[in-house]
A and B are shown apart, each in its own frame.
Chain A
Amino acid sequence: MKPNLSISIGKLKLKNPVLVASGTFGYGEEFEDFINLKELGAIVTKTITLKPRQGNFPPRTCETPAGMLNSIGLENPGLDVFIKEKVPYLARIGVPLIVSIASEYDPGEFLSVSRRLDKIRAVCAIELNISCPNLKNKKLIAQDPAATYRLVSKVRRVTGKALITKLSPNVTCITDIASAAEKAGSDALSLINTLGGMSIDTRARKPKLASICGGLSGPSIRPVALKMVWEVYQKTELPIIGMGGIIDTPSALEFFIAGASAVAVGTANFVNPGIVPEIIRGLKEYCRGHKINSIKELTGSLRCQD
Chain B
Amino acid sequence: MKKKTLQRNFKVIANNKVKDNYFKLVLAAAGISSMARPGQFVMIETSSTAFAPLLRRPMSIHSAQKGRIEILYETVGEGSRILTQKRPGEHLNLIGPLGNGFEIADPGDRNSILVAGGMGVAPLLFLAEKLVEHKSKNARVRIRVFIGAKTAGHLLCEKEFKSLGCDVKIATDDGTKGFKGWVTELLEETLSGIATAMPRIYTCGPMSMLESIAGLASEYGMAAYGSFEAHMACGIGACMGCVIRTQDEKRKERNDFVYRRVCKEGPVFQLNQVIWGEE
Contact = CB atoms under 8 A, between A and B. Distances in A.
Interface of A: 23-26, 30-34, 46, 54-55, 57-63, 65-68, 70, 72, 75, 210, 218-219, 247, 267, 269-274
B122 to A, nearest CB: 21
Given A61-B241, A210-B279, A33 B51 contact: no
B231 A59 contact: yes
A248 to B, nearest CB: 10
Residues of B contacting A: mostly:
loop
A274 to B, nearest CB: 6
Q: Which of B45, B55, B241 is most buried by chain A, counting CB atoms within 10 A of its CB?
A: B241
A294 B242 CA distance: 41
Contact of A67 (B54, B95, B279): B54
Contact of A271 (B56, B258, B278): B56
A272 B51 CA distance: 12
B279 A60 contact: no
- Interface secondary structure of A, over-half rule: loop
B244 A30 contact: no
Nearest to B245: A58
Nearest to B258: A54
26 contacts: A23-B239, A24-B234, A25-B238, A26-B238, A30-B264, A31-B238, A33-B3, A33-B4, A33-B7, A55-B240, A58-B231, A58-B242, A58-B243, A58-B259, A60-B240, A61-B232, A61-B233, A62-B231, A70-B233, A70-B239, A218-B54, A219-B51, A247-B51, A270-B55, A270-B56, A273-B234
Contacts of A75: 240, 243, 259
Contacts of B45: 271-272
A63 B53 contact: yes
B5 to A, nearest CB: 4
Interface residues of B, number: 36
B60 to A, nearest CB: 19
Nearest to A62: B231
Interface in B205-239: 230-239
A33 B259 CA distance: 24
A58 B239 contact: no
B52 interface: yes
A270 B234 contact: yes
Contacts of B243: 55, 58, 60, 75
B93 to A, nearest CB: 8
Contacts of A70: 233, 239, 241
Contacts of A59: 230-231, 241, 279
A13 B7 CA distance: 31
A54 B259 contact: yes
Given A58-B243, A70-B241, A269 B51 contact: no
Contact of A273 (B1, B236, B241): B236
Contacts of B237: 26, 30
A267 B241 CA distance: 12
Contacts of B55: 63, 68, 270-271
Contacts of A63: 53-55
- Which one of A60, A66, A67 has the highest number of Cβ atoms from chain B below 10 Å of its Cβ? A60
A30 B238 contact: yes
Contacts of A60: 231, 240-243
Contacts of A54: 257-259
Interface in B44-90: 45, 51-56
A57 B243 CA distance: 9
Given A54-B258, A59-B231, A59-B279, A30 B53 contact: no
Contacts of A55: 240, 243, 259
Contacts of B230: 58-59
A271 B235 CA distance: 9
Nearest to A23: B239
Contacts of A25: 238
Contacts of B244: 58
B234 A33 contact: no
Contacts of A58: 230-231, 241-244, 259, 279
B234 A269 contact: yes
B54 A271 contact: yes
Contacts of B235: 270
B54 A219 contact: yes
Q: Which of B51, B95, B236, B242 has the most CB of A within 10 A?
A: B51
Query: By CB atoms of chain A within 10 A, which of B56, B235, B239, B258 has the most?
Result: B239
Contacts of B3: 33
A24 B244 CA distance: 19
A273 B7 contact: yes
The interface centre, meaning the residue of A26, A72, A270 with most chain B CB atoms within 10 A of its CB, is A270
Given A24-B238, A58-B244, A68 B279 contact: no
A270 B239 contact: yes
B7 A34 contact: yes
A65 B259 contact: no
A61 B51 CA distance: 17
A218 B51 contact: yes
A270 B242 contact: no
A34 B236 CA distance: 10
8 closest Cβ pairs, A-B complex: A61-B241, A270-B234, A26-B238, A33-B5, A30-B238, A30-B237, A60-B241, A270-B233
A296 B54 CA distance: 31
A269 B52 contact: no
